[in-house]
Amino acid sequence: MRVVVQRVTQASVEIDKKVKGKIDLGLLVLAGFTPDDTDDDIKWVASKVVNMRIFGDAEDKMNLSVQNVQGNLLIISQFTLFANTKKGNRPSYINAAPPAVAIPLYEQFIRYLELAMGKPVQTGEFGADMKVSLLNDGPVTIVIDSKNKE
């Protein structure tokens, strides 16, 4: 599992010109899955996302988590995070999990995040053509890969 975490002051996702999810202060998380991702991978990444200290404290040092600042989460499925660009100019997505595998992983990831946050998280729609807007704060953008946890 791989996620791109962006600290935002606002973010939203539209599908067919209708807002599906919207947050103010918080994290926009793009999430991609592989066929060999496990429940442990999902739990580990979810814990990292909600506990990562990337928000400024009173001294403007990154010491606070999204939970500490009472921020929100917007989670977007993003199979292109596993693009293979080694050959040619057209990326291959063979390493990304197919929808039958990825959808349950995506839904479980959302459940773990909601449990950890103690509130609902905003989402896009798996497989939809989405328009994502954000105001990256900092900018702060971090990649987390469950295969790099050791």
Whole-prediction pTM = 0.95
Task: Kindly list the distances between the CA atom of residue 49 and the CA atoms of 2, 7, 30, 60, 107, in Å, as whole numbers in the listed order.
Answer: 11, 11, 11, 20, 16
Catalytic site residue from 9, 34, 80, 141? 80
What token pair was written down for 13?
């996702």
- At 108-135, the pLDDT tens digits run 999 999 999 999 999 999 999 999 999 9
The residue behind tokens 């990337």 is 54
What token pair was written down for 119?
């509130």
Active site residue 80: yes
If you average pLDDT over residues 11-26, what whole number do you get?
98
What token pair was written down for 61?
């040092």
Which residue segments constitute the domains of the chain, with CATH numbers given? 2-141 (3.50.80.10)
- At 20-77, the pLDDT tens digits run 999 999 999 999 999 999 999 999 999 999 999 999 999 999 999 999 999 999 999 9
Residue 15: half-sphere exposure toward Cβ, Cα within 13 Å:
11
**Closest by alpha carbon to 8, among 136, 139, 141, 140?**
136
- At 92-108, the pLDDT tens digits run 999 999 999 999 999 99
What token pair was written down for 130?
């989405």
